Amino acid sequence: MEQAFVNWLRQQTRTHPQLRLGLGDDAALLAVTPGRELVVTSDLLTDEVDFVLEKVAPQRVGRKALAVNLSDLAAMAAEPLAAIVSVALPESRAERLAHGIYEGIFDLADEFQIPVAGGDTNTWPGKLVISVTALGQTTRKGSLRRSGARPGDLVLATGQFGGSILGHHFDFTPRVHEALLLHRQYDLHAGIDVSDGLSLDLSRLAHESGCGAALQLDEIPVSDAARQLASADTSATAIDRALGDGEDFELLLAVPPDSAEQILRDQPLDVPICCIGQFVQQHGLWTIEPDGTHRPLAVQGWLH
């Protein structure tokens, strides 16, 4: 199906001022704005692990495959430029599936005004696999990395956490615009997006920065979905779910106190942003107890 499908894709995909050559040659050509760095991230999603194709529309699967990558660009405060999409389609229903998947991808790509600039469409005897590589570029302020947090910085978080399995893990909005706005208007030291769990990803950010982080548990915004799951299954509390469920695709940011106070006062985003803790010198993850002391917090999350 490759040639007919490539023809269909070529008709569907949008242009972009920096895309110099899209689908149809051996490779795509992109112009990166002079003085900016190219930002590249890639995620591969498989049936039965990241989604269950029997239970979900292919549009939502395609959307998710792009969205998780845009979330990684957001974590670096990068402007999205293009997506490269490769799929291994089960041969029994390849064409119908492909159209659904790409519809979901194109809807989100249009929202963020990026083209699908390349990829590889395959059929095979196995189940569905989607691999997306997202390309972006840094802004004039440079990139936001995991390694810039300093003890004393506050931990700011967008949105709510936990229970994404009830639907949010498909329908979340990657925080691209939020990250770009915050990075442009405020002083940020480091950032990460929460894919594997708030506590696990926060511990990664702290580790890369050579420090620790202490969380004010009662300040963590717990989603309704997390509460709903906790009341149906008492093996995990709502806060445990907020700390460990993953696929929230919210931003965790390390922000110096002055800048953090300004952000919290301004609330400049369409989504709430709040302070859930502070980076500390002592490595590891901690809770801030009512008396101000720190206690070790077990890292929860989704280790692939």
Binding of a second copy by 242 (CB under 8 A): no
Closer by beta carbon to a second copy, 108 or else 192: 192
Task: Pick one of 37, 95, 103, 187: the residue that binds a second copy (CB under 8 A).
Answer: 37
Give the integer Cα–Cα distance in Å for 129 and 112: 23
* Structural element, H or E, at residue 116: strand 116-124
Tell me the site size for a second copy, rule CB under 8 A.
66
Residue window 197-236: x/- pattern of binding to a second copy, with contact defined by CB under 8 A: -----------x----------------------------
* Of residues 14 and 20, the one with the C-beta less far from a second copy: 20
Three-state helix/strand/coil letters over 158-169: ECCECCHHHCHH
Residue from 118, 162, 212, 246 touching a second copy (CB under 8 A): that is 118
Phi first, then psi: what are they for 26, rounded to 5°?
Answer: -75, -20
Q: How far is the CB of 284 from a second copy (least distance, A)?
A: 16
Lookup: tokens for 45: 């999603």
Cβ neighbours of residue 87 under 8 Å, at least 6 residues apart?
A: 98, 101, 119, 120, 121, 122, 128, 129, 130, 131
14 binds a second copy (CB under 8 A): no
Q: Would you count residue 135 as binding a second copy (CB under 8 A)?
A: yes
Angle at alpha carbon of residue 61, lines to 59 and 64, rounded to 5°: 110
Q: Does 178 bind a second copy (CB under 8 A)?
A: no
Choose the stretch contacting a second copy; rule: CB under 8 A; options: 99-107, 153-161, 187-195, 252-260. Answer: 187-195
Cβ 128 vs Cβ 46: under 8 Å? yes
247 touches a second copy (CB under 8 A): no
Closest by Cα among 54, 154, 66, 58 to 117:
66
- Tokens (6 digits) for 9: 């894709």
With respect to a second copy, which residue has the nearer C-beta, 84 or 211?
Answer: 84
Return d(Cα 89, Cα 38) in angstroms, integer. Answer: 30
Listed ranges 132-140, 181-189, 233-241, 269-277: which one lies at the site for a second copy (CB under 8 A):
132-140
Q: Which amino acid belongs to residue 102?
A: Y
Three-state helix/strand/coil letters over 263-298: HHHHCCCCCCEEEEEEEECCCEEEEECCCCCEEECC
By CB under 8 A, tell whether 97 contacts a second copy.
no
User: Among 10, 14, 20, 96, which residue interacts with a second copy (rule: CB under 8 A)?
Assistant: 20
Edge-to-edge strand order for the sheet containing 190-193? 190-193, 251-255, 154-158, 273-280, 212-215, 284-288, 294-296
Among 107, 110, 120, 261, binds a second copy (CB under 8 A): 120
Residues between 47 and 86 that touch a second copy (CB under 8 A): 47-49, 72-73, 75-76, 78, 82, 84, 86
- Confirm or reject binding of residue 126 to a second copy (CB under 8 A): yes
Q: What sign has the CA pseudo-torsion 166, 272, 177, 244?
A: negative
Which of 60, 63, 146, 189 touches a second copy (CB under 8 A)? Answer: 146
Residue 145 contacts a second copy per CB under 8 A: yes
Please report how close the Cβ of residue 22 comes to a second copy at its closest, in angstroms: 10
Give residues in contact with a second copy (CB under 8 A): 1-3, 20-21, 24-32, 34-35, 37-44, 46-49, 72-73, 75-76, 78, 82, 84, 86-88, 117-127, 129, 131, 133-136, 138, 143, 145-147, 191-193, 208, 303-304
